[in-house]
Protein backbone atom coordinates (compact mmCIF):
# COMPACT_ATOMS: atom_id res chain seq x y z
CA UNK A 1 0.00 0.00 0.00
CA UNK A 2 2.84 2.42 0.82
CA UNK A 3 4.29 2.16 -2.68
CA UNK A 4 0.89 2.86 -4.26
CA UNK A 5 0.31 5.83 -1.97
CA UNK A 6 3.78 7.20 -2.70
CA UNK A 7 3.14 6.88 -6.43
CA UNK A 8 -0.20 8.68 -6.10
CA UNK A 9 1.13 11.54 -3.96
CA UNK A 10 4.17 11.87 -6.20
CA UNK A 11 1.86 12.98 -8.98
CA UNK A 12 1.32 16.22 -7.06
CA UNK A 13 5.04 17.00 -6.74
CA UNK A 14 7.77 18.30 -9.00
CA UNK A 15 9.89 15.53 -10.54
CA UNK A 16 13.09 17.34 -9.59
CA UNK A 17 12.12 17.34 -5.91
CA UNK A 18 11.23 13.65 -6.00
CA UNK A 19 14.55 12.89 -7.66
CA UNK A 20 16.28 14.76 -4.86
CA UNK A 21 14.42 12.63 -2.30
CA UNK A 22 15.57 9.46 -4.07
CA UNK A 23 19.16 10.70 -4.16
CA UNK A 24 19.31 11.68 -0.51
CA UNK A 25 17.57 8.59 0.86
CA UNK A 26 20.22 6.30 -0.64
CA UNK A 27 22.75 7.83 1.76
CA UNK A 28 20.50 7.80 4.82
CA UNK A 29 21.51 5.51 7.67
CA UNK A 30 20.23 4.20 10.98
CA UNK A 31 23.51 2.45 11.79
CA UNK A 32 24.30 5.60 13.81
CA UNK A 33 21.72 7.59 15.72
CA UNK A 34 22.04 10.54 18.09
CA UNK A 35 20.67 11.12 21.59
CA UNK A 36 20.60 14.71 22.90
CA UNK A 37 20.24 15.05 26.65
CA UNK A 38 18.66 18.27 27.94
CA UNK A 39 20.42 20.67 25.56
CA UNK A 40 19.21 24.11 26.61
CA UNK A 41 20.57 26.44 23.90
CA UNK A 42 18.37 26.34 20.82
CA UNK A 43 21.18 27.23 18.44
CA UNK A 44 23.19 24.20 19.63
CA UNK A 45 20.18 21.90 19.42
CA UNK A 46 19.41 23.18 15.93
CA UNK A 47 23.02 22.90 14.78
CA UNK A 48 23.08 19.23 15.82
CA UNK A 49 19.93 18.55 13.77
CA UNK A 50 21.47 20.30 10.78
CA UNK A 51 24.66 18.25 11.17
CA UNK A 52 22.70 14.99 11.40
CA UNK A 53 20.85 15.80 8.20
CA UNK A 54 24.05 16.77 6.39
CA UNK A 55 25.71 13.49 7.31
CA UNK A 56 22.64 11.35 6.59
CA UNK A 57 21.85 10.39 10.21
CA UNK A 58 18.11 9.76 10.21
CA UNK A 59 17.15 9.23 13.88
CA UNK A 60 17.55 11.74 16.70
CA UNK A 61 16.30 11.07 20.24
CA UNK A 62 15.69 14.13 22.40
CA UNK A 63 15.65 13.84 26.19
CA UNK A 64 14.02 16.85 27.84
CA UNK A 65 14.61 17.48 31.55
CA UNK A 66 14.85 21.10 32.70
CA UNK A 67 14.86 22.43 29.15
CA UNK A 68 12.67 22.05 26.08
CA UNK A 69 14.47 21.10 22.88
CA UNK A 70 13.74 24.16 20.76
CA UNK A 71 14.58 24.46 17.08
CA UNK A 72 15.98 27.73 15.74
CA UNK A 73 14.80 27.89 12.14
CA UNK A 74 17.65 30.21 11.09
CA UNK A 75 20.20 27.65 12.29
CA UNK A 76 18.42 24.38 11.47
CA UNK A 77 17.45 25.56 7.96
CA UNK A 78 14.58 23.10 7.77
CA UNK A 79 16.70 20.06 8.64
CA UNK A 80 14.20 18.89 11.26
CA UNK A 81 11.70 18.22 8.46
CA UNK A 82 13.86 15.42 7.09
CA UNK A 83 14.80 13.70 10.35
CA UNK A 84 12.93 11.24 12.54
CA UNK A 85 12.91 13.02 15.91
CA UNK A 86 11.70 11.22 19.04
CA UNK A 87 11.07 13.14 22.27
CA UNK A 88 11.46 11.57 25.72
CA UNK A 89 10.95 12.85 29.23
CA UNK A 90 13.81 12.77 31.71
CA UNK A 91 12.76 10.08 34.13
CA UNK A 92 14.45 6.87 35.19
CA UNK A 93 11.57 4.87 33.69
CA UNK A 94 11.49 6.65 30.34
CA UNK A 95 15.26 6.80 29.97
CA UNK A 96 15.66 3.15 30.90
CA UNK A 97 12.92 2.17 28.41
CA UNK A 98 14.64 4.12 25.61
CA UNK A 99 18.06 2.59 26.22
CA UNK A 100 16.65 -0.93 26.62
CA UNK A 101 14.80 -0.55 23.32
CA UNK A 102 17.94 0.64 21.56
CA UNK A 103 20.02 -2.15 23.05
CA UNK A 104 17.42 -4.70 21.97
CA UNK A 105 18.00 -3.38 18.44
CA UNK A 106 21.73 -4.09 18.91
CA UNK A 107 22.76 -0.47 19.45
CA UNK A 108 25.73 0.30 21.67
CA UNK A 109 25.06 3.30 23.92
CA UNK A 110 28.15 5.48 23.47
CA UNK A 111 28.48 8.48 25.77
CA UNK A 112 30.60 11.33 24.45
CA UNK A 113 32.79 12.73 27.21
CA UNK A 114 35.91 14.92 27.50
CA UNK A 115 37.27 12.74 30.29
CA UNK A 116 40.04 10.20 30.06
CA UNK A 117 37.98 7.03 30.56
CA UNK A 118 36.76 7.18 26.96
CA UNK A 119 38.37 5.66 23.88
CA UNK A 120 39.74 8.19 21.38
CA UNK A 121 37.75 8.83 18.22
CA UNK A 122 40.46 7.37 15.98
CA UNK A 123 40.51 4.16 18.02
CA UNK A 124 36.75 3.71 18.14
CA UNK A 125 35.64 0.44 16.51
CA UNK A 126 32.56 1.26 14.44
CA UNK A 127 32.53 -2.20 12.89
CA UNK A 128 31.46 -3.81 16.21
CA UNK A 129 27.84 -2.79 15.61
CA UNK A 130 25.36 0.11 15.43
CA UNK A 131 25.84 3.01 17.83
CA UNK A 132 23.71 5.55 19.68
CA UNK A 133 25.87 8.61 20.32
CA UNK A 134 24.85 10.56 23.41
CA UNK A 135 25.57 14.29 23.71
CA UNK A 136 24.96 16.46 26.77
CA UNK A 137 25.19 20.13 27.66
CA UNK A 138 28.44 22.10 27.68
CA UNK A 139 27.84 23.24 31.25
CA UNK A 140 27.03 19.96 33.00
CA UNK A 141 27.87 17.25 30.47
CA UNK A 142 25.87 14.04 30.60
CA UNK A 143 23.89 13.09 33.69
CA UNK A 144 25.20 10.45 36.07
CA UNK A 145 22.18 8.32 35.19
CA UNK A 146 23.00 8.26 31.49
CA UNK A 147 26.74 7.88 32.05
CA UNK A 148 25.98 4.87 34.22
CA UNK A 149 23.81 3.28 31.54
CA UNK A 150 26.33 3.75 28.72
CA UNK A 151 28.13 0.77 27.20
CA UNK A 152 31.15 2.73 25.99
CA UNK A 153 32.69 6.20 26.25
CA UNK A 154 34.10 8.27 23.41
CA UNK A 155 36.46 11.24 23.53
CA UNK A 156 37.90 13.74 21.05
CA UNK A 157 41.64 14.41 21.32
CA UNK A 158 42.29 17.87 22.78
CA UNK A 159 45.49 19.92 22.43
CA UNK A 160 44.66 23.24 24.09
CA UNK A 161 43.82 24.61 27.53
CA UNK A 162 40.04 24.32 27.10
CA UNK A 163 38.80 20.90 28.19
CA UNK A 164 35.89 20.47 25.77
CA UNK A 165 34.33 21.62 22.52
CA UNK A 166 30.94 23.24 22.15
CA UNK A 167 28.41 20.38 21.98
CA UNK A 168 27.38 21.12 18.40
CA UNK A 169 31.05 21.24 17.35
CA UNK A 170 31.65 17.91 19.10
CA UNK A 171 28.72 16.39 17.23
CA UNK A 172 30.08 17.74 13.95
CA UNK A 173 33.58 16.35 14.50
CA UNK A 174 32.39 12.92 15.63
CA UNK A 175 29.71 12.48 12.98
CA UNK A 176 32.04 13.63 10.19
CA UNK A 177 34.68 11.11 11.23
CA UNK A 178 32.26 8.22 11.74
CA UNK A 179 30.40 8.93 8.51
CA UNK A 180 33.68 8.59 6.64
CA UNK A 181 34.32 5.36 8.53
CA UNK A 182 30.95 4.02 7.37
CA UNK A 183 31.80 4.81 3.79
CA UNK A 184 35.31 3.37 3.92
CA UNK A 185 34.62 0.15 5.83
CA UNK A 186 32.58 -2.88 4.86
CA UNK A 187 29.62 -2.09 7.09
CA UNK A 188 26.01 -2.69 6.13
CA UNK A 189 24.70 0.77 7.00
CA UNK A 190 22.01 1.21 4.34
CA UNK A 191 18.29 1.45 5.03
CA UNK A 192 16.04 -1.40 4.02
CA UNK A 193 13.62 -0.82 1.14
CA UNK A 194 10.75 -0.76 3.63
CA UNK A 195 12.49 1.93 5.72
CA UNK A 196 13.15 3.98 2.60
CA UNK A 197 9.48 3.88 1.65
CA UNK A 198 8.30 4.94 5.11
CA UNK A 199 10.74 7.85 5.26
CA UNK A 200 10.07 8.95 1.69
CA UNK A 201 6.33 8.94 2.36
CA UNK A 202 6.89 11.13 5.41
CA UNK A 203 8.97 13.59 3.34
CA UNK A 204 6.31 13.76 0.65
CA UNK A 205 3.56 14.39 3.21
CA UNK A 206 5.57 17.23 4.73
CA UNK A 207 6.20 18.73 1.29
CA UNK A 208 2.62 18.78 0.06
CA UNK A 209 0.02 21.33 0.99
CA UNK A 210 -3.25 19.67 1.97
CA UNK A 211 -1.54 16.27 1.98
CA UNK A 212 -4.23 14.83 4.26
CA UNK A 213 -6.97 15.72 1.76
CA UNK A 214 -5.01 14.31 -1.15
CA UNK A 215 -4.37 11.13 0.79
CA UNK A 216 -8.05 10.87 1.65
CA UNK A 217 -8.86 11.07 -2.07
CA UNK A 218 -6.43 8.21 -2.69
CA UNK A 219 -8.17 5.91 -0.21
CA UNK A 220 -11.61 6.83 -1.60
CA UNK A 221 -10.50 5.95 -5.12
CA UNK A 222 -8.84 2.78 -3.86
CA UNK A 223 -12.01 1.74 -2.08
CA UNK A 224 -14.12 2.36 -5.19
CA UNK A 225 -11.76 0.28 -7.33
CA UNK A 226 -11.93 -2.65 -4.92
CA UNK A 227 -15.74 -2.57 -4.50
Contacts of 41 (CB under 8 A, 6+ apart): none
Are 146 and 174 contained in the same domain? yes
Both 111 and 168 in a single domain?
yes
Tell whether the model's pLDDT for residue 175 goes beyond 70.
Answer: yes
Chain segment 50-100, per-residue pLDDT in tens: 999 999 999 999 887 766 667 766 666 688 899 999 988 877 788 889 999
Report DSSP letters for 94-158, one per residue: HHHHHHHHHHHTT-EEEEE-SSTTSEEGGG--GGGS-EEEEE-BTTTBS-HHHHHH-SEEEE---
Q: Quick one: pLDDT band at residue 15, thresholds 50, 70, 90?
A: very high
Query: Is 64 found in the same domain as 134?
Result: yes
* 36 and 1 within one domain: no
Q: Based on the domain organization, do 116 and 42 belong to the same domain? A: yes
Do residue 100 and residue 1 come from a single domain? no
pLDDT exceeds cutoff 70 at 179: yes
Q: Report how many domains make up the chain.
A: 2
Same domain, 86 and 10: no
What is the average pLDDT across 184-205?
95
Lowest-confidence region among 31-35, 65-69, 94-98, 193-197 = 65-69
Classify residue 147 by burial, with Cβ atoms within 10 Å: 0-12, 13-18, 19+. middle
Give the pLDDT of residue 89.
81
DSSP β-ladder status, 152-155 and 108-112: parallel
One domain, residues 66 and 175: yes
Task: Note whether 48 and 3 are same-domain residues.
Answer: no
Domain containing residue 212 = 1-26+195-227
Residue pLDDT, tens place only, 113-151: 877 678 999 999 999 999 999 998 766 778 888 888 899
Angle between helices 42-54 and 167-184 (to 10 degrees): 10
Residues 225, 113 within the same domain: no
Q: Which residues partner with 224 through β-bridges? A: none
Q: Are residues 147 and 92 in the same domain?
A: yes
Long-range contacts of 206-211 (CB under 8 A, 24+ apart): 206/81, 207/13, 207/17, 208/9, 208/12, 208/13, 211/9
Amino acid sequence: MSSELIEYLSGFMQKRRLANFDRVIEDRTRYINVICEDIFQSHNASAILRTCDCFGIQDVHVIEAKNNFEVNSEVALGSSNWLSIYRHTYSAEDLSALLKTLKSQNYRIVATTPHSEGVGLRDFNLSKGPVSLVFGTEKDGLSKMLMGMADEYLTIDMYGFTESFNVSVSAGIILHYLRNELTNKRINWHLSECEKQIIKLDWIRKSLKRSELIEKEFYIKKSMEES
